[in-house]
Structure 1
Amino acid sequence: MDEKTKKQIELHSAGATIRHSSPFAELEHYSNENKLEAEFIKKWCVPFYMFGINKADEFIRNFEPIKAELNLEVVKKLLGDFNWRTRIVGAYFASIMEFKTVEDIIGIHLLKSQVCYAGNGYCLTLAKFNTQNGIEYLKKYLDYYLTRKDLHYDQTGAMMALKWTDKINGTNVMDDYLELYQEWTSRNYTPDINTKFQGFEQQMNNLKRIKTA
């Protein structure tokens, strides 16, 4: 196998299934200098990435024995890895531990959308942090990605994150994007906002359960 083919396979496995040009391409994103060791991934990623916070009881069982060891350095290593699995777990952990110092790392990761799946974790975390800075990342994301009907990324997740912060803050930011969102979605299928929000809300409640367990 030649090196080019090998690299393509590695990128696909990491979650870079669709690569696109965007106005965020030149943003400098956080990246580890070295690859993560297998033991680190086995301990901090493998038990948490597949079902994530949708199975809170399982997450808590796996998290409880290592919770005391979790710190900012671990979270940054997870977020700095070029793989959706480590990045989404890093976002979960940042939310659970309220490590707001990584908000810009997560916000830029969301804007660049380098790997699939992880965006849901980014949106949950920005919603949990509920800062004006995080809300601006969500708005920037929607300003651009709702114009890309060819890219079905995390537009719905970003909408749900804004709906969450609107509910907490007594604002109506998400409403400003409803028309664009309806135009972005398929003519044959427009996800019901309220139904989608129920799922998002459950995930947010699970994060709270995990934090207080």
Structure 2
Amino acid sequence: MPSQRPEEIGHGHVVESYVTRMYGGLPRYLVLNGGRFLGPRWWHTTRFTRHLIADAAAITDEELEALLGYEWRSRLTAGWLIGVDRRERFRTRIGDLLLASEVCYSGGAYCFALARFGTHADAEILTAYLDRYLPRTDLRYDQPTALGALLRLDAHLGTHHADRFIRPDGLWDEWVNALPHLRDHPAHAPAEQRRSTDLQCDFADGWTRP
């Protein structure tokens, strides 16, 4: 589906209101993408987080759809807002966007949202994504964040969806080893992907109601 500018569908305010608001000299979408608010020393974390939680509760479904129908910055922000507020009614929508992988960067936000939803349906979406994209060793998309989210869901649900991907010489090893500089790099260990997802979700859990 081609992207539509929000103003074309009567939501011209959403980018300025939710995507490009500035924190410490950076727009929200860059803060979300870089993850600096997850660290202990960023001075703007409290203000950033309070605004993020408030906007996640206040944004309407129509405004979220306007963001999801636009470019990567808007989709990334929408994914985070959906995940923070646990709007599970967007599961199918963000699952479709994740599987389509039309734009860069936003897929990590979709994986965060699915991890926050925390159900078997979300694990199935992440499994389908990895089935589609791990064999594509030429593509560096959102395989790491999808694996991290799936590992978290497996631990939460008592399932083992990720086992077949991370077994020795399995699809994860093949994907990582396709680029020599990634081999044996600790950042690409499955446990590190799980840790990154845990950090995001624990952050959101600490500021929102369960």
TM-score range, shorter chain: 0.7 to 0.9
Q: Note the C-alpha offset of 1:126.
A: 0.8
**Aligned equivalents of 2:92 and 2:157: distance in 1?**
21
The residue type equivalent to 1:189 in the other structure is L
User: What RMSD in Å do the two structures reach over aligned CA positions?
Assistant: 2.5
TM alignment of 1:111-122, pairs within 5 A: 111-122=99-110
Query: Take 1:180 and 1:64, find their aligned partners in 2: how far apart are those partners?
Result: 37
CA-to-partner distance for each residue in 1:59-91, whole Å, 9 max, x for gaps? 32433664653232222221122x111111111
Rounded Cα–Cα distance in structure 1 between residues aligned with 2:147 and 2:53: 32
Separation in 2 of the partners of 1:37 and 1:200? 31
Instruction: Kindly indicate whether the alpha-carbon contact (under 8 Å) linking 2:56 and 2:82 is maintained by their aligned counterparts in 1.
Output: no
Question: Which residue does the alignment assign to 1:181?
Answer: 172
> Which structure is higher in RCO with an 8 Å CA cutoff and minimum separation 6?
1
Q: Please give the residue correspondences for 1:136-155 in structure 2 after superposition, counting only pairs within 5 Å.
A: 136-155=124-143
Identity, % of aligned positions: 27
Alpha-carbon distance between aligned partners in 1 of 2:191 and 2:159, rounded to the nearest angstrom: 17
Aligned equivalents of 1:188, 1:65: Cα separation in 2? 41
Secondary structure of residue in 1 paired with 2:182: coil
1:206 paired with 2:199, answer: no
Aligned length: 184
Counterpart code for 1:163: L
Q: Judging changes above 3 Å, is the alpha-carbon distance between structure 1 residues 72 and 59 closer, same or farther for their aligned structure 2 residues?
A: same
Residues 10-89 of structure 1: matches in 2 within 5 Å?
34=8, 38-47=12-21, 48-52=28-32, 54-55=36-37, 56-63=45-52, 66=55, 69-81=58-70, 83-89=71-77
Q: Which residue is 1:24 aligned to?
A: none
Normalization by structure 2: what TM-score?
0.77
Alpha carbons 1:95, 1:128 under 8 Å: kept = yes
Are residues 1:192 and 2:195 paired? no
CA contact (8 A) 2:76 2:105 kept: yes
Aligned-partner Cα distance in 2 for 1:68–1:170: 30
TM-score computed with the length of structure 1 as normaliser: 0.76
Q: Where do 5+ consecutive residues of structure 2 fail to align?
A: 22-27, 38-44
Check the 8 A contact 1:148/1:184 in 2, yes or no.
Answer: yes
Contact 2:98 2:129 in 1 (8 A): yes
Q: Return the offset for 1:209.
A: 3.0
Instruction: Identify if the C-alpha distance between structure 1 residues 138 and 30 changes in structure 2 by more than 3 Å, giving closer, same or farther.
Output: farther
1:91 aligns with 2:69: no
Alignment CA distance shift 1:175-1:73 (3 Å) = same
SS in 1 for 2:29: coil
| Deviation sequence 1:146-166 (CA, Å, 0-9, x none) | 111110001111110110101
Q: Closer, same or farther in 2 for the Cα pair 1:143/1:68, shift >3 Å?
A: closer
Amino acid in structure 2 at the alignment position of 1:50: L
1:80-108 alpha-carbon deviations (Å, 9 max, x no partner): 22x11111111111111111111111001
Question: What is aligned with 2:97?
Answer: 109
| Residues 134 and 175, structure 2, Cα contact 8 Å, conserved in 1 | yes
**Separation in structure 1 between the aligned mates of residue 64 and residue 162 of structure 2, nearest angstrom:** 29
The alpha-carbon distance between structure 1 residues 31 and 143, as it changes in their structure 2 partners (threshold 3 A), is farther
